[in-house]
Every structure is written in C-alpha cells, then in structure tokens.
Amino acid sequence: MHKAGFVNIVGNPNVGKSTLMNLLVGERISITTFKAQTTRHRIMGILNTDDMQIVFSDTPGVLKPNYKLQESMLNFSESALVDADVLLYVTDTIEKPDKNAEFMEKVRALKVPVLLLINKIDLTNQENLVKLVDEWHEMLPQAEIIPISAMAKFNVDVVMKRIKELLPDSPPYFGKDQWTDKPARFFVTEIIREKILLYYDKEIPYSVEVVVEQFKEDAKSIHINAVIYVERESQKGIIIGRQGKALKKVATEARKTLEHFFQKSIYLETFVKVDKDWRSSDKELKNFGYQLD
C-alpha cells in the first residue's frame, strides 16, 4: 500500500515553524530568520519515499491583521486547516495557550489528528514543561503533545514517526521527483527577501517585495534580474545604501545562497523601485501573488 497526505504546519509567529519544516523535508525551503512574520505565503515541501508521499505545508504565523498583506497571510494560515490530513500546531515554551483564542477554536473543531509540538524545550526546565503540557492538554484535549527542540533536532524523529503512522492510504498527489509546489523564481524572491530581513532594521524588511523579471537557465548557470519594490523613496535610499554598498552586500549574499540552492553559477542583477503603499493595495498584492479572498 502507498500512503500520502497533507501535513500542515500552523502556529503563531516566531515559534520555529520554518526551521521544523526544513528539518522534516530535508530541503531548505522556508526562509528562516530571527524576525517575526518571515513567511508570507503557504509553501509546500514534498517528501517522497517508495511507499509514501508527505506534502508538508509551512504557513505564515497567525496574527491579527493590521493591513491587507497581513489579511492575505492569515488566509494562507486558515486555508491550512481546511485540507490537512494531519495538523502540526507549533508553539514554544514562552507562549501561553490562550493566545489567539479565535484560531484555537478552529483548531479545536478539527476532525483530523492534531500533533501539538512544544518547541524550544531546551529553554525551560522539566517542572515548567509539565505545567505547560497540562495547560495545553486542557486547551486542546484531542491533540497529541510532543515536546521538541527543532534547533537541537530533539524528538523530530518521533514527530516524523507519528506522521507516517497517521497518514492515510492514498496514491501520490504530485510526481515523485517533485519536492515543492513552487517554481524556481519563487525561491529566488524568498532568498533575496531573507537577506533583506537579515541586513536591514525596523520597518524596511516588511515594506519590501521582490519580483524576478528575468530567469534564464542553461546547463551550468542561471541569469537573474530581480526588482526590489519598496513603499517610499526614503526606503529606496536605505536599501541601496551609501555608494550602493548595502544593496551590493544583499546581492552578494543572495548569490552565494542561490548558488548553493540551485547548484549552478548565478549571475544576479538587482534593481530597486518604489511602488507606493503596495501592502494596502488589492491590485498590487494580487500582482505579487497574494490570495485576498
């Protein structure tokens, strides 16, 4: 028999969902930085073996939306509750179970197996962990609770074993050689955005969107033209930096990561343009690939 199913990862921002996803899939799919709201889309990573296909899905952190972009991000998170065969709800040792009560109500109503993963257990002690497990058990009685540390790779194998046991019998949903539902261009934009998250402060990373205007690939190399969109002229100046140094650093670091990711030589050109208030514009968000309904 062949098993296949959708394993969707949800939770609040910054609890370690993307790190966990990358461990489970074994590919560096979701950008993982130390800043909240890093993941903006729903990203699938597909794990194939001879008798199994697990379609993992990483989603944006659940939050109360303040502007249109965040509404779209919440839509991605809520859509993950609808089509899951197994739900991984990721929390950590700092977060209280009563955060985001509305979303928890939806999780509580699910009929599919829920694995509640308490991440970052290396940051607490046994006594506090036992208390936390009890609190979560009260909040989500149907969930199976597994304490983990994604950074230390602790208990991730236990999670994987449970997922395999819970998967339904089914033929594969995707080709067996496919490891994500996203095109190559998507990962270029994510990797450039990751570098911007790492090198700029405050509002800048959240005001940025990246669009790949050219992606030409041959046997040994890829030529890429990417445009970094910001909301204001002042942000454009910050992204470029004095004598273009800041932008050059981002491009250099992105190119190194892209070469590692695609295993080819990368020629990367980056440009910066202003697209005023794109985060609040339906038209622009649709152009950038966000779901608004």
**Nearest residue to 192 (alpha-carbon basis) of 284, 285, 270, 264:** 270
Q: From CA 28, how far away is CA 18, in angstroms rounded?
A: 9
Sign, CA dihedral 133-134-135-137, equals positive
Q: Is 75 annotated as a binding residue?
A: no
Task: Tell me if 8 is assigned to a ligand binding site.
Answer: no
Asked whether residue 113 is marked as a ligand-binding residue, the answer is no
Its sign, for the CA torsion 194, 195, 200, 205, is negative
241 assigned ligand-binding residue: no
Q: Determine the Cα–Cα distance for residues 170 and 51; give it in Å rounded to an integer.
A: 10
Q: What is the C-alpha to C-alpha distance for residues 134 and 128, in angstroms, rounded to an integer?
A: 10
For residue 218, say whether it is annotated as part of any ligand binding site.
no
17 is in an annotated binding site: yes
Does the annotation place 7 within a ligand binding site?
no
122 annotated binding-site participant: yes
121 known ligand binder? yes
**Non-local CB neighbours of 166 within 8 Å, separated by 6+ positions:** 5, 85, 86, 113
- Residue 15 marked in a binding site: yes
Does 61 count as an annotated binding residue?
yes
What type of residue sits at position 210? V
Q: Which residues are annotated as a binding site for GTP?
A: 11-18, 58-62, 119-122
Q: Which residues are annotated as a binding site?
A: 11-18, 58-62, 119-122
